[in-house]
Amino acid sequence: MIELIDVSKQYLSGEQAFIALHNINLKIDKNDYLAITGPSGSGKSSLMNVLGCLDTASSGQLMFEQQDVAHFDEAQLALMRNQTIGFIFQSFHLLPRISVLENVALPLIYQFQTKKQRIERAMGQLEKVGLIDKAMNLPSQLSGGQRQRVAIARALVTEPQVLLGDEPTGNLDSKTTTEIMALFDCLHQQGHIIILVTHENDIAQHCLRRVELVDGQIVEDCRQPRKDYA
């Protein structure tokens, strides 16, 4: 499904070059449930940005279903992000002045769907995450766990193949984190590829595969039995 071949990423600061990723080779299969871990500065965010087509690699190939997207232009990358990848962030990134329903429907504007189609699909996703009764609320009227559920519904509304979470439970208490991880389990069972960037060991142990980065290189890539989050 997704394959990185000799992917490197470097950033220039003045005359100095900082290598964030160094010759990464990684294959992500259909229905993978993957945690990306590592200490601060290990390259987790850089890898997430490349995988999510938020940034381009300095060298190497990024293959989505045998199509090399490493050197797509911005318009092509935007289309890839909108149609293939759903993003879930630690800080939710919900627009505060529009309703929950409007937040969830927002990505569909870029797919040129009618207002009726956008509303129907957004309501369907809110029902899936158990928040259909909050559709007309503002994000500020929801708990942290509810806002994360809205963010997940928004990520799902374009029917992406891949769900990419950047510390998606980082702002949540343990009870709410358990609920969100149960939702990820359900989405994985429905056939989504789940990729979670996390520094939390309990979250990483709950996933079925763990990739650990140190200094921009993969030092461990292992399958593991799921450990229930508690």
For residue range 39-80, list pLDDT tens digits in order: 988 999 899 999 998 888 899 999 988 888 877 888 888 888
Number of domains in the chain: 1
Whole domain around residue 186: which residue ranges? Answer: 2-223
The sign one gets for the Cα dihedral 106, 46, 149, 95 is negative
Query: Cβ distance 29 to 205 under 8 Å?
Result: no
Residue 113 resides in a domain: yes
Residue 228 resides in a domain: no
Residue 229 resides in a domain: no
- Coil, strand or helix at 203: helix
pTM score: 0.91
Residue 59 resides in a domain: yes
Residue 105 resides in a domain: yes
Residue 230 resides in a domain: no
How confident is residue 13, by pLDDT bands cut at 50, 70 and 90? confident
CATH number of the domain at 67, please. 3.40.50.300
Residue 216 resides in a domain: yes
Buried b (16+ CB within 10 A) or exposed e, 211-224: bbbeebebeeeeee
